Amino acid sequence: MMPACLALRSRPPALISNRRGSSHLPQITTEVLPFNATAYHNGAFVDVSDADLHGTWSVVFFYPADFTYVCPTELGDLADNFAEFRKLGVEIYSVSTDTHFTHKAWHETSDTIRKIEYPMVGDPSGQITRNFGVMIEDGGDAGLADRGTFVIDPDGIIQLVEVNAGGIGRNASELLRKIKAAQYIAAHP
């Protein structure tokens, strides 16, 4: 009997399609597609674009929506570990399809979210979410982002793609381990 991981690889792509109607995920080692957006960061609204992902390691961290239950635990975990990400030279960008105004309101009303020091990018048009292939297009969650994590190297090249089901939160310590591995590989080709 063939191991499950090999069996999955041998199936035609149509059998591996996303039942939620999301776009196709970008492939690792591809460049981030162009985008422009507004983020809430350090008490102000700031412009963010794909150009900001060049020159440093970056994490683009998609989540479904502000004022929900799993999202603040993930974002708070990133905030609690932010100093460790900075020691590695990593910038974090959280992204949801909420507006930057909604990010500001959430930041001002939640003790957990108030700890966030990284940009909270608003993507109400869904351009960034679709560029990264994590937009939910169908069903009751249509218009929201899947829980996608992307690690991008200083050249703007995607080095890690990870998407979790809606109720499964992510862990900042595990993300730090993966970034360290990616940085090691980049330094030792």
Q: Annotated catalytic sites, by residue?
A: 71
What's the rounded Cα separation, in Å, for the pair 66 and 98?
A: 7
User: Six-digit token pair at 125?
Assistant: 């048009």
User: Six-digit token pair at 51?
Assistant: 């150009």
Give the E-state strand segments of the chain in sequence order.
Answer: 36-41, 44-49, 57-62, 90-96, 120-122, 147-152, 158-164
> For tokens 């020691």, what's the residue?
87
In single-letter form, the type of residue at position 120 comes to: M
Q: How far is CA 136 from the centre of its chain?
A: 14
- The DSSP letter of residue 145 is B
What's the rounded Cα separation, in Å, for the pair 46 and 66?
A: 18
Give the Cβ contact number of residue 69 at 10 Å: 8
